[in-house]
Structure 1
């Protein structure tokens, strides 16, 4: 029987080596996914307990204040959700610059903004073109889960699995959807990077749309523009 050529033997050995390496990589990836699944589940439970404790503390503080005949003043919110409600015609140049800074490039785009003295001034500047308020935890979750897209290699990728967050963000503290939601809602240390990873939300027109007349009025005057506090959550629900 003729001996196999030396090149054939080398090729077979190389293929065996490649197959073994691929199998080892697949097994390692499977083990990592299994470990991550446990870690992510634990993180989700930890955050749920944190949210519940925070809400319970607020309820207790309100009751104590009422029992003592006073008023409970909650902490100033650190997060707002901004929705663009008007187009580009007639936009003031300074307002246009702020809209670009907030990544509100199209009508019905929405983004999260960290609330501080500087952003408050910017929001007042663009009030005729946007509406904004304080999103609830449910609203943040719904936005991320239902309309969330991430920036991966400059591409708009739906957040359909945790790998999208891991590949796009590359942060040890934000590895899964629960981590991302927690970072946004609590305005954590990595809020800026996490928020920039999120593509501006593309929302639908609310049922019935915005009236051309009410869009020009402030929310406090019966219109749509400007600050609307916690009422933003009702609008988010209509636009999802």
Structure 2
């Protein structure tokens, strides 16, 4: 029995060795990559579906049409805005030129009247001031209720705050009552322009916005015919019909301490060597130091 088992095991080993040799000699070769010539590649591309016939989702087409319409509308709006801005600039330059001619004519008229009065031996008395610039000099310490309320009405809530005020009998009386705490006078055109250009801030929805563009002024005062900063300066300097709206659209001016400081006796009247009270035309010099 043991000899028969040995012969069977030997025959099985020979059969397995024969199968392994046959498998190693008869392997299936790997397919080689085929290189297509140009004619066959063109034939295969011609058999594919052209891009024009590929179905595109309707939502994508709608989005494309919407984007194209929006882009065209933006381009058209930009072109119209450039045209409007160009036309508005011409209007602004024309107005500024007219204002300069008006100011020069007024100065020449003043000189002529003074010369005529000198020739005839009379005295020339200039017209009364129409606008005052008021600056607060004192804080809230030891301030009576009545002056405190007047300063609130004038929008002078902090030290070195300044506002333009129309000269009337009521405003003169109010300024006289708070004269120990303020300095005021009649500013010239140069001082008004310097204030608006350097320290001008607009009041937009209760916020303090710097005047960096004429569009800000037009947005607030366009309905009154004030579309640029020169219109605003002219309205304040000449006390036009929309003076109240123009000054209310401006935030109270926040000024610095004057160059060189105040006088030694700050809270004594100006005519006595201090800084408070009516300065008349000399307020322009103080404005140049405060700005």
Interval of TM-score (by shorter of Structure 1 and Structure 2): over 0.9
8 Å CA contact 2:224, 2:242 repeated in 1: no
- Cα separation, 1, equivalents of 2:237 and 2:128: 14
1:105-124 aligned at under 5 Å gives the runs 105-124=157-176
**Higher relative contact order at CA 8 Å, sep ≥6: structure 1 or structure 2?**
1
Alignment correspondent of 1:67: 119
Structure 1 unpaired stretches of 5+ = none
1:172 deviates by: 4.4
Provide the secondary structure at the position in 1 that maps to 2:208: strand
- Cα separation, 1, equivalents of 2:61 and 2:199: 54
- Cα separation, 2, equivalents of 1:23 and 1:137: 42
Alignment correspondent of 1:237: 288
Within the candidate set 68, 73, 77, 1:16 is matched to 68
Provide the secondary structure at the position in 1 that maps to 2:281: helix
Within the candidate set 230, 237, 244, 1:192 is matched to 244
Aligned CA RMSD, in angstroms, stands at 1.1
- Cα separation, 2, equivalents of 1:177 and 1:171: 15
- Cα separation, 1, equivalents of 2:126 and 2:139: 35
Within the candidate set 88, 103, 106, 1:51 is matched to 103
1:80 deviates by: 0.5
Alignment correspondent of 1:129: 181
Provide the secondary structure at the position in 2 that maps to 1:228: strand
Provide the secondary structure at the position in 1 that maps to 2:266: helix
Q: TM-score, normalised by structure 2?
A: 0.80
- Cα separation, 2, equivalents of 1:52 and 1:74: 16
1:45 deviates by: 0.3
Larger Rg: 2
Q: Deviations over 1:45-91 (max 9, x none)?
A: 00000000011001101111111110111111100100001111111
1:228 deviates by: 0.6
Provide the secondary structure at the position in 2 that maps to 1:214: coil
Structure 2 unpaired stretches of 5+ = 1-52
- Cα separation, 2, equivalents of 1:171 and 1:220: 43
Runs of 4+ in 1 over 6 A off after TM superposition: none
